[in-house]
Amino acid sequence: MADPLFRRVAIIGIGLIGSSIARKVMKEGLAEEIAICDRGAAALAEARELGLGHVYEENPGDAVKGAGLVVSCVPVGAAGDVAVSIAPWLEPDALVTDTGSVKASVVRQMLPHLPDASRFVPAHPVAGTENSGPSAGFADLFENRWCILTPTRETDLRALDRVSEFWRRLGADVETMTPEHHDLVLAITSHLPHLIAYNIVGTADDLEEVTQSEVIKFSAGGFRDFTRLAASDPTMWRDVFLHNREAVLEALGRFSEDLAALQRAIRWSDGTTLFDTFTRTRAIRRGIIDAGQEIAEPDFGRRAATSKSADADGVDGDRGDAPERKQAGAHPSR
């Protein structure tokens, strides 16, 4: 076991992502002490019962005292509230990072409130499952997954290096890009697929000629995959779409144009266009497999892979079927 990177790591929000970070930090000895914070009493009690940390606090200010690294793991809509609540209590040399699925909005929310902008390193671990809560986490969640860091113009290179090393020690492969570019990339690779999944499952539920029992009974593999995405945490995904609105609308506009082209091809029996499109998209699927982001087993690898290998943004981080918590100030866990 390597030497600790920090004396104390504070994790704000103890859902799937926060609990997975805590487990890996504990397993690898990356900190001498882990402080867990969640304003949800039930989540905090569950984290304590699971032994995810050493200190448990409902007040973020108490959790970050003495911490060398603070990791915000709340939905993006609550990021600003977290910054306000921790700012007066941060140590002068404390690094601050987060795990939000949208970056430009998180930067706008958090940066004005932090006492030292140079020590803020926004991050997005592209890993997760459709499950949520402290019990859903596991130490190897980030293994061989991407963590995208989006430093601001004020971010100090030494701070960036330390946060990069932290995520590498969690098992992730680290990539760096601007917040704006991140949001456009993730709008295509994660946010739009989730929006489509929510819509398709909702359409099936609304179709009067097909009963819900038939939808469940005769679900084919494609529809089952859509339901996996559509089971993701409604609080998190509401915030994602509201806070990455411009990039999602841009991607959705292009998608609508391409969908209309396929609609015309089907209407006019244009088999060549359909075949060419399906051939091109099949090659992308093979590229994903070659890149190690999926396995080429029947049923898209779902039977061969455990739930722990489910990709995220695949269910981007967070997740699940937890009850919606409507007040952003409550800092629901990611």
The 10s digit of each residue's pLDDT in 187-205 is 988 888 888 888 888 877 7
Residue 306 has pLDDT above 70, yes or no: no
Residues 109 and 96: their CA atoms lie apart, in Å, by 13
Task: Return the HEC string of the chain.
Answer: CCCCCEEEEEEECCCHHHHHHHHHHHHHCCEEEEEEECCCHHHHHHHHHHCCCCEEECCHHHHHCCCCEEEECCCHHHHHHHHHHHHHHCCCCCEEEECCCCCHHHHHHHHHHCCCHHHEECEEECCCCCCCCHHHCCCCCCCCCEEEECCCCCCCHHHHHHHHHHHHHCCCEEEECCHHHHHHHHHHHHHHHHHHHHHHHHHHHHCCCCCHHHHHHCCCHHHHHHHHHHCCCHHHHHHHHHHCHHHHHHHHHHHHHHHHHHHHHHHCCCHHHHHHHHHHHHHHHHHHHHCCCCCCCHHHHCCCCCHHHCCECECCCCCCCCCCCCCHHHCCCC
Q: What is the predicted pLDDT for the residue at 167? A: 98
Q: Model confidence at 288, in pLDDT bands (50, 70, 90)?
A: low
The pLDDT > 70 percentage for the chain reads 80
Residue 300 has pLDDT above 80, yes or no: no
Which among 241, 5, 226 has a CA at the least distance from the CA of 102? Answer: 241
Q: What is the predicted pLDDT for the residue at 311? A: 40
> What distance, in Å, lies between the first and last C-alpha atoms of the chain?
28
* Paired sense of beta strands 146-149 and 95-98, if any: unpaired
Which among 279, 104, 99 has a CA at the least distance from the CA of 182? Answer: 104
Q: What is the predicted pLDDT for the residue at 321? A: 31
Q: What are the pLDDT digits (tens) for 130-171?
A: 778 999 999 999 999 999 999 999 999 999 999 999 999 999
Residue 232 has pLDDT above 70, yes or no: yes
Q: Model confidence at 324, in pLDDT bands (50, 70, 90)?
A: very low
Q: What are the pLDDT digits (tens) for 22-69?
A: 999 999 999 999 999 999 999 999 999 999 999 999 999 999 999 999
CATH of 6-177 given 3.40.50.720, 3.40.50.150, 3.40.50.1000, 3.40.50.300: 3.40.50.720
Residue 322 has pLDDT above 70, yes or no: no
Protein fold of 181-325 = 6-phosphogluconate dehydrogenase C-terminal fold (1.10.3660)
Residues 136 and 133: their CA atoms lie apart, in Å, by 5
- Tallying the residues shown for the chain, one arrives at 334
- Per the rule left: phi > 0, alpha: psi between -120 and 50, beta: everything else, 295 is beta
Q: What is the predicted pLDDT for the residue at 129? A: 74
Sketch the domain layout of the chain as residue ranges. Answer: 6-177, 181-325
Q: What are the pLDDT digits (tens) for 240-277?
A: 888 888 988 988 888 899 889 989 999 999 999 889 88
Residue 1 has pLDDT above 80, yes or no: no
Q: Are the CB atoms for 123 and 97 separated by under 8 Å? A: yes
